[in-house]
A and B are shown apart, each in its own frame.
Chain A
Amino acid sequence: MEITVNGEQKIVESISMLNLLESMNIDSRRVAVELNLEILPKREYATTMLNEGDKIEIVHFVGGG
């Protein structure tokens, strides 16, 4: 199925949010995730299965003033 992660199209199997983060080598403790414009709490990463057409934003802290 096709999902959008940070504006990029991605083809994935049926996986959880945690699987997705792990597959991209992202430390889930240091990011925040939005699933279809709603914040997804960290405790729900493992139990949230992704669906066709999901739009995901993964953000973290960078240098700024």
Chain B
Amino acid sequence: MSNSDKLVIAGREFTSRLMVGTGKYADFQQMVKAIEVSGAEIVTVAVRRVNISDRSKESLLDYLDTGRYTLLPNTAGCYTAEDAIRTCRLAREAGLSDFVKLEVLGDEKTLFPDNEELLKAAKVLIKEGFTVLPYTTDDPIVCKKLEDIGCAAVMPLGAPIGSGLGIRNPYNIRIILETVKVPVIVDAGVGTASDAAIAMELGCHGVLMNTGIAGAKDPIAMAEAMNLAVRAGRLAYQAGRIPKKLYATASSPVEGIIE
């Protein structure tokens, strides 16, 4: 892979096309190791109340080198545009960066995005100078609207958050890739390495995952697998795959076969 193959989001260049979450790890040590092995440069974090009654607990930022990683605060758990906007403002104040992963959820069971609220929140945040990376459904029309209002990327889901079902609608992802010019990052649903490779083979610019790594039996081994899968998928996309055919085409010459 050429060194110039960078992922560019809002003018910022990244070498790795894998973005990883920081949730659900057994402990901070395991998280740090997994992130390191994944090769990711962008890591997502959540914004929550400080536990004021028990100050003995360690802080995430004691373990994450903010000089090395770009933090991408999310609005997980927000069900209205208002809550998501409030969370983003707090995140910017806490992290001093404009990058946010905007998610506005519609339903606790599916954690599917509420695109109406998402668009509403994105408009306000972009006006306030945020670099908005929205988690959305694999809907090309919504992705186009998100691009039109100024989102720096679109992040359609592969499948529901934490489901591990992989890329359930690769055809929609392909249409999204043809519809928008901003980077398309598959966010959510990746269960194993081949899922990540499929997203990249489709031509996606990146993949974001958390549970797929943190929930694996051996998260550090899976982080390495995902690192390789994203790179392999990208390389295969750039190499250009052969067309799918129903019948065989011989690889060996048909001339000169002994009789």
B123 in the interface, Cβ–Cβ < 8 Å? no
Find the B residue at minimum CB distance from A24. B52
Shortest beta-carbon distance from A33 to chain B in Å: 8
Tally chain B residues at the interface, Cβ within 8 Å. 38
Q: Is the beta-carbon distance between B94 and A65 smaller than 8 angstroms? A: no
Find the A residue at minimum CB distance from B135. A65
With A32-B93, A32-B94, A61-B94 already in contact, the answer to whether A6 and B52 are too (CB < 8 A) is yes
Interface size class on chain A is 20 to 34
A49 in the interface, Cβ–Cβ < 8 Å? no
Shortest beta-carbon distance from A24 to chain B in Å: 6
- For residues 199 through 245 of chain B, which have their beta carbon under 8 Å from a beta carbon of chain A? 208-211
Shortest beta-carbon distance from A43 to chain B in Å: 11
Shortest beta-carbon distance from B39 to chain A in Å: 18
Q: Is the beta-carbon distance between A59 and B48 smaller than 8 angstroms? A: yes
Q: Which of B70-78, B114-122, B140-148, B246-254 contacts A (4 or more CB under 8 A)?
A: B70-78
Complex formed: what's the CA distance from A8 to B71 in Å?
29
- Taking a contact as CB atoms closer than 8 A, the residue among A8, A32, A37, A63 that contacts B52 in the complex is A8
- For residues 72 through 130 of chain B, which have their beta carbon under 8 Å from a beta carbon of chain A? 73-74, 76, 86, 89-95
In the complex, given contacts A65-B24, A65-B44, what are 13 additional A-B residue pairs having Cβ atoms less than 8 angstroms apart? A32-B47, A32-B94, A57-B49, A58-B50, A59-B49, A60-B47, A60-B60, A62-B23, A63-B25, A64-B23, A64-B45, A65-B162, A65-B208
